Amino acid sequence: MAKVELANGIYWVGVVDWNIRDFHGYITRRGSSYNAYLIQDEKTVLIDTVKSTFCDELVRNVKEFVDLEKLDYIIVNHVEMDHSSSLPTVAKLAKNATILSSERGKDALIEHYGHDFDRVKTVKSGDELKLGNRTLKFLEAPMLHWPDSMFTYVLEDHILMPNDAFGQHIASGERFDDQVDEHVLMEEAATYYANILMPLGPLVAKKIQEVVATGLTCCMIAPSHGVIWRKDPSKIIKAYAEWAAGTSRKKISIVYDTMWGSTDKMARSIAEGATSQGVEVKMLKLRSATNTEAMTEILDSKAVLVGSPTLNNGMFPTVGYFMTYAAGLKPKDKIWSFFGSFGWGGGAVRAMEEMARKAGFEVHDSGLEIKYVPDEEDYKKCFALGVQIAKEVNK
């Protein structure tokens, strides 16, 4: 492994997962990485491990610096298995290491891997660990994005290791933000936020304020996925603050599926109406676009129109999947409206509206269903719907 140094004595020892494309339903088109870090001082510390599939590679990477039995500490910032499933093996090899996690992290480790982890010592916000010339400071970050989550901060080097927060699913031979395409980086950071952290926006905003209030400055943010922010870490902090605030543009996302093309025709006509008002439109036909892409476009959209043909008195299955996914992620401050075609009984629009209201979405009173194939009158109604929602967006 080529040596990747964040600062003198602080190294990346993680692994790159070039081939992952489905991360529990999040489509990771550019793969990912599981980042682990090693700090060598008077005491030697491993921060986080990796997915168990890559445990051997992590062990080899660490051994290039130190024998595992000489590790003094292993810090578990987060128990989700992409970061902890190598821990049972690593902990056996690092038999002299003290394992540190948050209180809830310890409970979760025992619940995942059994009572071998009764030996874990817990830390809480503000606790410090002296390593020699360096000091680690811990900051609990419950629900960012699991109850156990915590951040580790290297005081003297101003490096924040926040685990999942500020990550991106990118597989890359490069390890730093200034080595990769900036547009790709921000696109993947937004995708990551939209598909993982979106429902936690208020907690994200609060945590950012809390970190700022501590006076801790970040010269580098080293997350557990993707590349390390060293060129301008404030860029991703600002982006998170905007996303958490629900900041949107004059943009409408139209997410839909179609059986025989009628709902597709409706979507196209609605899009024409919206663009006639100068609003940006993104069309996302499910089965061509993924839920992951749809949520990323929705992140900065002011309105979302969802279209479904009626199948068996309800939503088309792909739209049902999307609605379930979106309801869980709870995009903030959007206008929602629904449309679709039907053959005889209808029901998809009603089902989508009910689901959206239950999720707490702001449903615009404009649902539009048309029978079989749109005629000229129907096209006018679709165009008018696009105009009406665009006017709301332009307000």
Binding site for ligand FEO (CB under 6 A): 78, 80, 82-83, 145-146, 164, 224-225
Cβ proximity to ligand FEO: between 32 and 253 the closer is 32
Asked if residue 176 lies in contact with residue 168, where contact means CB atoms within 8 angstroms, the answer is no
Helices (H), 100-225: 103-113, 182-192, 201-214
Catalytic residue among 48, 80, 257, 264: 80
- Active-site residue, 192 included: yes
In angstroms, give the least distance from the CB of 106 to ligand FEO. Answer: 17
Asked if residue 240 lies in contact with residue 201, where contact means CB atoms within 8 angstroms, the answer is no
Catalytic residue among 140, 225, 264, 369: 225
Asked if residue 292 lies in contact with residue 326, where contact means CB atoms within 8 angstroms, the answer is no
Cβ proximity to ligand FEO: between 17 and 177 the closer is 17
- Active-site residue, 364 included: no
Cβ proximity to ligand FEO: between 226 and 374 the closer is 226
Catalytic residue among 11, 48, 83, 145: 145
Strands 150-154 vs 135-140: parallel, antiparallel or unpaired: antiparallel
Catalytic residue among 34, 73, 153, 192: 192
In angstroms, give the least distance from the CB of 360 to ligand FEO. Answer: 24
- Active-site residue, 78 included: yes
Strand, coil or helix: 283? strand
In angstroms, give the least distance from the CB of 199 to ligand FEO. Answer: 14
Element (H, E) at 342: strand 335-342
- Active-site residue, 183 included: no
Asked if residue 142 lies in contact with residue 181, where contact means CB atoms within 8 angstroms, the answer is no
CA angle (185, 82, 92) in 5-degree steps: 135
- Active-site residue, 157 included: no
In angstroms, give the least distance from the CB of 356 to ligand FEO. Answer: 27
- Active-site residue, 118 included: no
Residue in the block written with tokens 């980042």: 35
Cβ proximity to ligand FEO: between 24 and 358 the closer is 24
Question: Which tokens in the block code for residue 32?
Answer: 């990912």
Strand, coil or helix: 185? helix
Using Cβ positions, the residue closest to ligand FEO within the complex turns out to be 80
- Give catalytic residue positions: 24, 78, 80, 82, 145, 164, 192, 225
